[in-house]
Amino acid sequence: AEYMGFEASLELARKHQSARQWTDALGVSQELVARADASLARHHWIVFNALPVLINAARALDDVACAIDATERILESMRVVYGPNDEEIVAYGELLATLLAGTTLDLASERHLAALRDARRCAVVCLGEHHEVTRRLTEALAAVSLSKAVDMSK
């Protein structure tokens, strides 16, 4: 019965997203991910499908920190579910790079840095070393790495 509650919550989050009710979409998807984390596998399909709703809602509400964390989380799940070289990893890696570039980079954690590294590695495999996307991910990784180095020197 609880499992049906997860599916109903996911459907509700998607309905709020479709209606552009971003505050409701964010709240329902955050609560769904938290409940699923407590009782389902970390990379369960319910979580995997709730994270894009969470990301979209957070971005619509300008909750950059939430969007960054959810994007890093979906990248982690994709590596587990799809393997390390799926092209969707590149797309979410680009999103993470864009989100981090739009901040002061203070929000970047070691997890985010690792996610960017993985996305760049995947871009090299899927698109090639000299592809525009690979170049952008390389630049984002350098910017975040530099900001982390500056933070550590303070």
d(Cα 35, Cα 141) in Å, to the nearest integer?
32
> Residue 106's pLDDT is what?
62
Termini Cα distance of the chain:
52
Average pLDDT, integer, range 13-37: 96
**Mean pLDDT over all residues of the chain?**
88
**Residue pointed to by tokens 């499908």:** 49
- No. of H helices and E strands in the chain? 7, 0
What is the identity of the amino acid at 35?
R
Which pLDDT tens digit goes with each residue over 112-122?
888 889 999 99
d(Cα 136, Cα 142) in Å, to the nearest integer?
10
Which pLDDT tens digit goes with each residue over 62-105?
999 999 999 999 999 898 888 888 888 999 999 988 888 877 65
